[in-house]
Amino acid sequence: MKRSKKLLLATIVALAVLLILVIPALADQRYLVCDWADECQINILHGTPTEYPAGEPFYIIHGAGGAAPDGAPVAAGHMGFALEVDGVYVESDWDYRGASSASDGRPNMIWSGSAFNFPEGMTGTHIFTGHWYTACQSTDGPCENPMDPVDFITLDLTVEFVE
């Protein structure tokens, strides 16, 4: 009887440890509410679409990349994308970062961006404001600190969600 109790306790502890490890990993999965091919992206940079079906899921995903004038990559933490909906900043569902090297024929680039899912869709008319940030060293402007993030593009897109 003692041996079976120890085995049961060991099994329960093992399952608890497994759940502690697996549940956060499942919650951190990166996904978009619909497939890229389903044309369910609202693209602020392209200004499309200006009408979208009410209550249908959509996503917004944008980012920024850059390299310093000397070709050195900019730190990814100093660039990216922020989203406002009707004047209120929205927290991203997940962020991404990437890099390319000079060996592929392009300058050293680092990029960073964010994805925003809207699984319930929206109704009415809303203004989406995108803010693209990069390190000051990647711009033509004067920089007190070359790594300070600056809002180098801000665009509004008004979308009417139609029945």
Q: How far apart are CA 113 and CA 65, in angstroms?
A: 9
Query: Do 40 and 85 belong together in one domain?
Result: yes
pLDDT in tens, 145-156: 877 888 889 999
Query: Do 43 and 26 belong together in one domain?
Result: no
Query: Do 22 and 52 belong together in one domain?
Result: no
Query: Do 75 and 43 belong together in one domain?
Result: yes
Query: Do 14 and 79 belong together in one domain?
Result: no
Q: Residue 23's pLDDT is what?
A: 35
Domain region containing 60: 36-162
Query: Do 102 and 49 belong together in one domain?
Result: yes
Of the pLDDT bands very low, low, confident and very high (cuts 50, 70, 90), residue 3 is low
pLDDT in tens, 49-102: 999 999 999 999 998 876 655 555 555 456 789 999 999 999 999 988 777 666
| Total-model pTM | 0.72
Q: How far apart are CA 62 and CA 45, in angstroms?
A: 8
How many structural domains comprise the chain? Answer: 2
Q: Which two tokens stand for residue 119?
A: 């699984």
pLDDT in tens, 111-138: 788 999 999 999 999 999 999 988 787 7
Query: Do 26 and 40 belong together in one domain?
Result: no
pLDDT, mean of residues 18-25 = 34
Q: Residue 110's pLDDT is what?
A: 73
Query: Do 63 and 100 belong together in one domain?
Result: yes
Question: Exposed (0-12), middle (13-18) or buried (19+): which is 144, by Cβ within 10 Å?
Answer: exposed
